[in-house]
Amino acid sequence: MTLIVSKQGHIGWLTLNRPERKNSFTFDMLDEWAAAYREFERDEDIRAVVLTGAGDAFCAGADLSGLDGGGERTPLQNRKLMTDQVHQVIRAVEDLNKPLIAGINGAAVGAGLDMALMCDYRIATDTVRLSEGYVRVGLVPGDGGAYFLPRIVGRSRALRLLWTGEFVEAGRALEWGLVDEVLPVDGFRPRLEEFAGQLAAMPPVSVQLIKRAVRHGENGDLRASLDLIASHQAVVQSTADSKEALAAFQERRKPTFEGR
């Protein structure tokens, strides 16, 4: 099983499971990967999603040994391979309204790093090594790197990383915002579970609408963002969870949310 999909309480887990290949992914894995994100979006019991890798690596990108497996392709066929197979995961992420956390437990290279960058929050071990290594094999960033990376580290720094393919260690990754937290290996999994559980314990409707509002605000104007949040506020205030949150706050007790 090259991709393990599981549930732990209100948390959905995706674990890349090719440790002998540093969790590099095959094209066949991408269908299941995208389908898992879409199923977690549909599953009302799931409130947060975690992506991580088995063994000592997060993801070494695409398994390049499969690139020429079907013989020589035309430019049109290569383009279709990207848009129909590789990019389906990005589209599924874009449709995921629930928090998506990357647990970067080791090296993340090329498309493997891009898969982490498209997540909402990134928790890493202090052993991570990150690289947009496409240029080293004569390619361009094909899995969203040219889109996500400048938004996280800025244009000039993104170009540096994309042009050189250099590796970034944990300390600099944290300084530059490539990751949000760095933990020792023995504290990594507990913190990953703790943070995912913290988000899953929040009122789900509020959490998801916050994510939608932030996404919209990244590309929309202020007045449109304010109009959207006014509508979101009206929806949230009508939910049972909103009433429960206020009651629990006033009664100084722990709230229980049902996602409605």
- Identify the pLDDT of residue 219: 86
Q: Which pLDDT tens digit goes with each residue over 179-189?
A: 999 999 999 99
Q: Which pLDDT tens digit goes with each residue over 34-64?
A: 999 999 999 999 999 999 999 999 999 999 8
- Identify the pLDDT of residue 246: 85
Residues 72 and 138 in one domain: yes
Do the Cβ atoms of 100 and 47 come closer than 8 Å? no
Residues 210 and 112 in one domain: no
State the CATH number of the domain containing residue 72.
3.90.226.10
Provide the token pair at 233. Answer: 């506020």
- Identify the pLDDT of residue 68: 54
Mean pLDDT rounded to a whole number for the chain:
94
Residues 209 and 150 in one domain: no
Q: Using CA atoms, how far apart are residues 79 and 83, in angstroms rounded to an integer?
A: 6
Provide the token pair at 172. Answer: 């600099």
Residues 52 and 84 in one domain: yes
- Identify the pLDDT of residue 70: 57
Residues 109 and 80 in one domain: yes
The mean per-residue pLDDT over the stretch 243-256 comes to: 88
Residues 209 and 177 in one domain: no
Asked whether the predicted pLDDT for residue 14 surpasses 90, the reply is: yes
The mean per-residue pLDDT over the stretch 213-238 comes to: 92
Q: Is 259 a domain residue?
A: no
Boundary residue ending a domain (185, 200, 215): 200
- Identify the pLDDT of residue 258: 87
Q: Is 258 a domain residue?
A: no
Q: Is 62 a domain residue?
A: yes
Provide the token pair at 171. Answer: 């300390």
- Identify the pLDDT of residue 66: 61
Phi then psi dihedrals of residue 141, to 5 deg = -65, 105
Is the entire prediction scored with pTM above 0.75? yes
DSSP assignment of 158-221 equals HHHHHHH---EEHHHHHHHTS-SEEE-HHHHHHHHHHHHHHHHTS-HHHHHHHHHHHHHHHHS-
H or E element at residue 18: none
CB within 8 Å of 108: residues ≥ 6 apart: 57, 58, 59, 60, 115, 116, 128, 129, 130, 131
For residue 237, the enclosing domain spans 204-251
Detail the DSSP E strand segments found in the chain: 3-8, 11-16, 48-53, 57-59, 100-104, 107-109, 121-125, 129-131, 168-169, 181-183
Q: Using CA atoms, how far apart are residues 202 and 63, in angstroms rounded to an integer?
A: 38
Check residues 71 and 140 and name the one with the higher pLDDT: 140
Structurally, the chain folds into a number of domains equal to 2
Q: Is 119 a domain residue?
A: yes
Three-state DSSP class for residue 14: strand
Q: Lowest mean pLDDT: which of 27-31, 104-108, 138-142, 241-245?
A: 241-245
Do the Cβ atoms of 106 and 133 come closer than 8 Å? no
Residues 185 and 234 in one domain: no
Residues 211 and 186 in one domain: no
Phi then psi dihedrals of residue 112, to 5 deg = -65, -40
Residues 193 and 245 in one domain: no
Boundary residue ending a domain (157, 184, 200): 200
